[in-house]
Amino acid sequence: MNEELKRIKDELTNCINQALNLKELGEARVKAFGKTGLISALSKNMRDVPVEDRPKLGSAINVLRSEIEELLKEKENKLENEELERKLQEEKIDITEPSIKVELGAYHPIADVIDRLADICVNMGFTVVEGPEIESDYYNFEAMNIPKNHPSRDMQDTFFISEDILLRSQTSAVQAREMETRKPPFKIICPGKTYRNDSDATHSPIFHQLEGLVVDENISMADLKAMLTILMKRLYGEDTKIRFRPSFFPFTEPSIEVDVSCPNCHGQGCNLCKGSGMLELLGAGVVNPKVLEISGIDSKKYRGFAFGFGLDRTAMILNSISNIKNLYRNDIRFLEQMK
């Protein structure tokens, strides 16, 4: 019987040693301990052994069983390590190999200006809203205190789609929409596309504005001036000088235009500011009480201020772009420089 045990041990040891992978090792395990495995068979054959020999044989089988278990475990560890080693070798990354160049796009200068202005305004408590680009004559003009045949309509050469529908010529159109739906006090800005029939080096038929509107009790021109001063300094730098000039807009009374010292020459005079040292940036004013009333806001209780930025001009100034058309041509050589 001892010889039989030895023969089985040798056979299983051979099988285990020869296993080249975990699958073959699995087969060796079945050969030993499977239902019809060699060691299982030994236990089954116990009943043919004389009773007095059984304890000895039993413990010999147990020894064999644990020896084979041990061998299987060892071999399993070895194969697993080999497998890991092989994977590490195969999946090794050569960090000296030149990489494939990924072309990253650049952020468009207009999107960048909108982000910067929105950041500054949101910090001051403004909410960002949007309005439709295809707008009614009512919101674009009438609700802004510009009735049909009013001479100030000539200030904007509008694209009409029909008698009452147009491509909005100013983001001011969003003012009335917001006043109709919001309860004061509120502070909103609306960046977006605007359209006018106008085209030269500084005008494009499609351009961008950012409208701002604050409605609250006791609003005055002083609030507007303070807010715009902070806004301009945050956008162009602390040393920026700001100039307010009287102006006219039908929706504000009084109205102002706002200039800033040229960030290129700091007021000395250069090409960008055409020698004047200042750049005209936006229109603003205290909201005309008529405009509040048209949209259902009690002008005895509430007042407001509003402002409208030209974003293309702002982007051109911040990036020293001389022709507005560059913003719309999508010339890759131009956009590359915006990275």
d(CA 228, CA 82): 70
Q: How far is the CB of 332 from ligand DAH (least distance, A)?
A: 31
Count H helices, E strands: the chain? 11, 9
- Name the one residue in this structure whose structure tokens are 């005008």: 203
Q: How far is the CB of 209 from ligand DAH (least distance, A)?
A: 6
d(CA 195, CA 42): 95
In this structure, the number of other CB atoms found within 10 A of the CB of residue 247 comes to 15
Residue number with CB closer to ligand DAH (107 or 138): 138
Residue number with CB closer to ligand DAH (273 or 291): 291
d(CA 238, CA 332): 33
Q: Which residues bind ligand DAH (CB under 6 A)?
A: 170, 172, 211, 249, 252, 283-285, 306-308
Residue number with CB closer to ligand DAH (207 or 236): 207
Q: How far is the CB of 105 from ligand DAH (least distance, A)?
A: 30
- Name the one residue in this structure whose structure tokens are 């002008």: 299
3-state secondary structure of 136: strand
Helix residue ranges per DSSP H, 171-251 = 173-181, 221-236
Q: How far is the CB of 118 from ligand DAH (least distance, A)?
A: 16
Q: How far is the CB of 326 from ligand DAH (least distance, A)?
A: 22
Residue number with CB closer to ligand DAH (131 or 285): 285
Residue number with CB closer to ligand DAH (178 or 211): 211
Q: How far is the CB of 239 from ligand DAH (least distance, A)?
A: 26
Residue number with CB closer to ligand DAH (40 or 152): 152
d(CA 143, CA 294): 6
Question: What are the CA-CA distances from residue 128 to residues 31, 119, 133, 206, 311 (Å)?
Answer: 74, 10, 16, 21, 15
101 Cβ neighbours under 8 A, 6+ residues apart: none
